[in-house]
Amino acid sequence: MANVTAGPVSSVGVLLRSYRVRAGVTQEELAEASGVSVRAISDMERGIAKCPQRRTIDALVGPLALSDDESAQLREVAKRARVSSAPESVALPAQRTPARSAPAQLPADLNDFTGSERELEELRPFLRVRMAGGQTGRVTLLSGAPGTGKTSLAVHAAHELAAHFPDGQLFLKLRGMSNGPADVADVLQLVLRSLGVESTLIPAEQEHRASLCRSLLADRAVLIVLDDAADEAQVRPLLVGGPRSVTLVTSRQVLPGLAGVGRFGLGVLTPYDALALLRSIVGAGRVSAESDAAEDLVGLCGGLPLAIRIAGNRLASRPTWPLSYFVSQLRSRNRRLTALTAGDLDVRRVFDLSYRQLGPVAAAMFRRLALVPGPDFAVEAARMLVDGHERDAGVVLDELADASLVQPAPEDGRYQLHDLLREFAAEMLTEAETGETVREVEQRLDRWLVRTAAAAGRYFQPSSSVRTPPKPTESFADSAGARRWLETETGNWLAALRRSAARAEHHQVVDLASAMYWYPEFGGTADLWHEVFTLALQSAVALGCKREEAAQRNYMAWVLGTLLSSADGAAGSGRRGRGRRSAGAELGFALPQHHAQSPGGPARVGGGFQ
């Protein structure tokens, strides 16, 4: 192979480009084949990176198909460049120019920052520890669901603390939720340029850029904000601050892989703080004039700072709108997210950025969570949303929790979904899945809830009356566990029972009611059991089974009679008698006296009660 150069070559870039052109490959193709980044190759060819390391040159030799002489020449030119530049590169980190201006890159603070004062008060200790010279809090992570105000809080806190960092404040957008997150090497180059390093002296390799950043920041007091981080791999190389610096990271991800960081989670605002934020945007007069509507508005926004700010901005730009008019738009579930749009602020778009980052199974589970009828749910219920065979449903939920799309519920081992995220999930469900699939998933979830509730109810049958012995499930193994499950899951299994009745799944409805007959003595309300046994009675009638109809009438008669007698105990037997007659009239027959006299309920005769 002939040498492409005619005489000595002093520039690595010229030589590298000539070999690449001769090989007929683009910078992208060479990068893919060698493992050296496109940026590094481009910087070398343009003379920005003049002294590449030996391992970089070694990685390029093979893909360029160089001869031994050509390889040796390229390595020698690179070596001479490193030697000639060594004094400058060594001296640079210690170089401090008194006249150099400190970078001041923080975005403008919000003039109406309010509603998050409590979070700010809790955040300050993390930062004070760092400024006092302690290690905890050198890096502080602000994480939370989309729209919880992470960036606003970080910027406000940074402005408040800026005076403590005379060597500058850096604000670096990592674009973690975009289709193209910021490249770490590019961010490090921006840091170096902000610190006064000339482009021609910036190393090509990412790790060398990070090392130079650490050297320059070793004795400087700089506040660094890394906004919208994608993951741990993006953040770790950017933690270059020295002992006098503080780094604030914002992310929708909780980034559990980062060690030694102070963690600060953001949630929704309290009603008081939510109203304070609305008041600061639209004015105290409008909020006071329509206080009820204002409370409804922040409630329909779920306390989400972004949603409240958007609502406030829309109202501020339309001073003639009553708050009640905008509330009426928010009450329409199929229009709520559309109403929460103001210019380039858009709740739906913010949610969508997080949703698009999920893997296929996590995305399917998230949108199908819209089918969970209650306010929270367990891992077992979530498993039913993904074919019931996903044994790692907990892992998928952890992915959603790490992305702040679901939150741990107060009850251990349970999760919950913000109302606006639930509405967004419902939109994604309609968009991504067929009606038939949605019906199948809903039916699978409901059947599991109804079947598990019936299994729990059987733990409360008297031993002398047991027809179907109770069996342990993955959710409980004894009566105490069954009772906890029934109480915790009431909102879910009752809604599933309603939906089952609406689908004419009458056998499941009757079976649950029969299994529950004895449980009302242990839990539930009159309204709950009135609805359960009414649905069961209607299903029994629909089935045309007189035996089941008689049994369900007796079940409800006893519950109504017993609960009415308990509620009316202080009023005397006359009132109890009226209660029994009222209950009997509702059922279409006279209620026998033993329903009021026997604390254990009607006696079982055959397959039902009399």
Distance (Å) of CA 431 to CA 340, 366, 435: 20, 13, 10
Residues with Cβ within 8 Å of 426's Cβ and at least 6 positions away in sequence, in order, are 367, 370
Low-confidence winner among 106-120, 237-251, 428-442, 573-587 (lowest mean pLDDT): 573-587
Q: For position 46, what pLDDT does the model report?
A: 76
461 and 555 part of one domain: yes
Q: Of the candidates 332, 349, 366, which is a domain's last residue?
A: 349
Q: Which domain holds residue 407?
A: 358-433
- Per mean pLDDT, which of 40-54, 127-141, 250-264 is the most reliable? 250-264
Residues with Cβ within 8 Å of 277's Cβ and at least 6 positions away in sequence, in order, are 112, 114, 115, 116, 269, 305, 308, 309, 312
Q: For position 339, what pLDDT does the model report?
A: 94
Cα–Cα distance, 374 to 493 (Å, whole number): 8
Q: In the structure, what pLDDT confidence band is assigned to residue 89 with cuts at 50, 70 and 90?
A: very low
Q: For position 596, what pLDDT does the model report?
A: 38
- pLDDT tens across 279-291, in order? 999 999 999 999 9
**Inside any domain, residue 110:** no
Does 392 or 566 have the greater pLDDT score? 392
Element of type H or E holding 170: strand 169-173
Cα–Cα distance, 109 to 438 (Å, whole number): 45
342 and 485 part of one domain: no
Q: For position 558, what pLDDT does the model report?
A: 76
**Which ranges in 117-244 belong to alpha helices (H)?**
117-131, 150-161, 184-194, 206-217, 232-235
Cα–Cα distance, 69 to 16 (Å, whole number): 14
Q: Is 597's pLDDT higher than 80?
A: no
Q: Of the candidates 398, 417, 433, which is a domain's last residue?
A: 433
Mean of pLDDT values over 133-149: 78
Output the domain CATH number for residue 205: 3.40.50.300
Q: Provide the token pair at 499.
A: 């939906």
Q: In the structure, what pLDDT confidence band is assigned to residue 580 with cuts at 50, 70 and 90?
A: very low
277 and 257 part of one domain: no
340 and 261 part of one domain: no
The tokens 């065979």 sit on which residue? Answer: 389
Does 82 or 62 have the greater pLDDT score? 62
The tokens 């809830």 sit on which residue? Answer: 449
- pLDDT tens across 500-549, in order? 999 999 999 999 999 988 888 888 888 898 899 999 999 999 999 899 88
SS3 228: coil
469 and 518 part of one domain: yes
**Inside any domain, residue 104:** no
Q: Is 354's pLDDT higher than 60?
A: yes
502 and 570 part of one domain: yes
Q: Considering its fold, how many domains does the chain have in total?
A: 5
